[in-house]
Structure formats: C-alpha cells, structure tokens
Structure 1
Amino acid sequence: MNYDNIKENDVIYRCIGDDFNKGILSCGFMRKKTVERSQYEFKIGYYSCFLILQGSGRFISDDGSITILQAGDMVQRIPECVHSTEIKPDGEWIELYISVGYPVYEYLKTLGILKTDKEVLTTQHTSDFFYDFVALLDSLKGATDEWLPYLLIRAQELIIRLHNSVQIQLREQNEGKIMKACQLIGGSNDIHYDLKEAAAYVNMGYENFRKIFKETTGISPQRYHIDQLMKQAKMMLFSGLPIKHIALSLGYGDIYSFTKQFTKSEGISPGRYIRNRQR
C-alpha cells in the first residue's frame, strides 16, 4: 500500500465531556523521521494503540524487556503503564493510532476483547481497515460534539478488528507449529518418544503445546502419537512381519504390552487383524 500522501502529523483530538482521560477520542497518522520522535518513560491515563504501517524500532517495557518493532505490529499503551518506544532514525516510520477513554478500555477488557497481557502484538490487518480508519479520521475532524458518541462506536469497532486480526495471526502461526510437530511425532517410531521434544522443537511450553495441539487437531499429542504408531504397526502386520518383531521395533518391552495397546486403539487384536486382512 502507498503511504506517500500521509502527512507528517495528521491527527485529531476530541473529548466527550470534560475529563480528558475518561472521554478522549482521538486518532490519526504520524510520521517519525528522527530518533528525537522516540518516547521514553511514557505514561498516559487512557487507552491507546498504534499500528506500525512502515518502519522499525524497539519497545521497552517497564521491566526493561525489549521487543523489536516492525511493520504490522500493534503497540498497546495500557493506562498508567510506563513504557518507551524507540524509533529507528531512517525516516521510514509511519503509524496510525486510536485513543479512547479509560472507561471504554475497562469495558472492552472486561469483555475479553482487549488482550492486555502483551503490549506488542502482530496483526494481519487488511486494506479495508486502512480505508475505514481514514473515514473515521475525516469524520472526527468535522463532527459536532453531539455526534462524537457515534464515532466512539466506530473507533471501538476498529480496535476490535485489530485485536481480531491478532487472533487470526496467532491461530495461523499456531497451526503452522502444530503441523511441524505432527511431522516430527509422526516420524518417530518409539512408544517412549518424549513429546516435550516436539513442543521444544516448535518453541512452545509443553502445557500450552498440549492445549493448542488439541484445539488444532481435536486430539491430544499423546493420542496422536499412539495413533501414528498404530498406523505403522498395521502396515508392518500387513507386510507379514512377526508380532514380536513389530512390538520391539516400536519400543514395546514385550508382545503383551503391544497387543494390549493395539487392541485398545483398534478394537481388535494384532493376530485377528492379520487374519481379517487375509480373508
């Protein structure tokens, strides 16, 4: 998308009522060409989020942790939370922002719409969002005070869309990770394979991995692992390999343990499975 027509600062600040922190309604575009436009030890009493359209930099949280910023990232300014945003001074930085009052922030947070556990989120916004944002900015500039509550609804809708695009991005990222994990698990041929290795391989904590894995595939990682082993077992049985050989090759200590697992999973014993296939 071409941002050449965006001015260095094209913003509007309005307020519903007399309390700025409660009633602010603001949005706009900002170009930040130099490091002097960075903001250090910054704190506000209302909620604001900005989307980086172009450029890069760093976000520094109150505890000193650093997050690299790039185009597509959304930064949340949580009320009363100290933070810093450092601009890479290459003249590329362009952001759009939306600010709403503290009561709106509390309301959206209570509904679970705002995910405030992370201040920097990666979005997957579309061109439609950009044009709707421009329409809000233009409307806000010429609106009467009586019309501001209606524009506040439009501002909330845009904030919700940004957060929804974050969820889409996370879901797609998680699906990609789970697909990689499935390939790794499916390639193992040992009942004792440590599933924590698969979680570590896709850079996820095991408990979160188990949750996301089941949400994505419908079954637990352990169930998936066993199902894959049983598929291998059926192929080996069909090939005419002895049951004892199959049991040992899949990591079972004896025929009994393998037979018990196969029967539980398939509803039929290995021996009967072979006989049924031979009919």
Structure 2
Amino acid sequence: MKGRIGVFYDGTWFAYLSDFYATAHPRAARIALDGFHDALRWHVHTTTGLPLEACPVLAAHYVRGRIETPAASFDAVLASAGVVRHDLPLHGGKEKGVDVHLALEVWESATTLPLEWVVLVTGDADFAPLASRLTARGVRVLVPVVDVPSTPVPPAWTPRTAAPLRAAATATPGFDALFAPTDRPDYPLRRPFVRSAEVVASAPGSPRGRRRGTVTGWRSGQPHGFITDSRGASWFTSRDDLPEGHTMLPTGTPVSFTGSPTPTPGRKYPRAHAIRTE
C-alpha cells in the first residue's frame, strides 16, 4: 500500500472556507496551505500505518476564475506551497468552466502519476460523478467537510458540502478532526494556520471591514452587474446598492463593499452591498 496524495482546490470554495476559519471559527486564523497538506499527510499516515515519508503530496492544483489584477501575495503563497494555479477567464464577471477544468486535472493526475489518495477541497455536487469514477478505480477520495456545531448557531455562509458529493467520497473527515492532531506539542509537522491582518467582509455574524474589488461586468442600461473581489470571487450587484447619483459603474472601476460570501437560496453568486468607489 502506498500513500501518494493529490490535493485539488475549487478556488472559490476554498476562499469561503478560509474566510470562515478566519472570521467565524474559534481559531480565528487562516488556513496555511503547506500546513494543511501536512495535516493530510498525517491523516493518511495514521489511517494506513504507512511511514510519513511514504505519504507525500505529489500534486496540488488550484482552479479559479482570474481577474486582471490579482493579489500577487496569494500567488506567492500558492507557489511556496507547491500549488499549481490554473486561471480561467471571467465572462461578465462570472466563472465559466472551473468545474470541468478541475475535474480534468484531477483525473489526469490521479491516473498518470498515479495517485492513491485524492483530496477534493470543494463542496460542489458536480464533483460527485468524478469521485465515483475514482473510487471505482481504487483511488481513495477524501472530501473534508466543515464541522457545523449545533450551538452557537453557525453563520449562514458556513461552507457546506453537497450530500451527493459526501455519498460518493471514500471518507469525509471534518476539517477540525484533521487539524486536531496539529495542536499536540509532539506534532512533528508544520501547523495549518497562520494569523492574518486581512480585512474581511462586514456581514451579520462576521467582523467589521470592507472587501475590495473591481467591476468586471456591467452593460450600459442594465440594472445590475458583477464585481470580482481581491481573492477572485464573483459578486452580483444591483444599482440599488450603488452610491447616490450612480445608476451603473463602468467595467474596471475599483470599489469596496460589504456582504456575506455565501449566495442566498436560489442564487448562484453572493450579493455586494453598500458599494463605494475607491
């Protein structure tokens, strides 16, 4: 038995996960990618009894829609953790083809390296068929999930994992369970959290602050458009949320705004509120 691991990130879902741990979880810290990879190695090591050196992360890929002026600091974080970034164009401020691109990357890596363990960092039900095909080939598919406590009431934007994806995975360990061994004083690997001074969204149940982004799609005469934030996520916006005197904002306008990063029921994108031009 071998423990060759691949970690594959749905970039938008991971951004919400990182925001959740930084703003709504008792740890109040962002996830460190290299430490997260080590926590996964430790999980495979303890689950299988294999030595740690037999449980390497051989592939790590991050797929997301790309704004024209992304945060260079996050690119450096990805590079330092050995994560390959895949940028897809935004169409009218919307991500297109991210799920397909990520699924193809997972399949190619799993079948050509090959991998014994695939970690899908996503909650999207669209990945359930991929998980089923991988498990049918004998690949173990881990889909870490957010442990949602019954009390206190978790925020509405807590990252969720779709039931079909849970059912198709080999295992769905909680992120808290994966991270728990790293708190022990004898834990020999890197820690999975890093403190951050980043300003996060101002929304019910989350700290004060404003997100920053750029208008990436607003057609003349339309009552709504799209904003891409500094982390690459797309937000829906309406002229009702614009500063007084504005009925639209041209593409490329830098803005700041508030809002929950999780879409309301029936909506694909979260909504930006209290928009200000910067």
Larger radius of gyration: 1
TM-score, length of structure 1 as denominator length? 0.23
Q: Where is the helix percentage greater, Structure 1 or Structure 2? A: 1
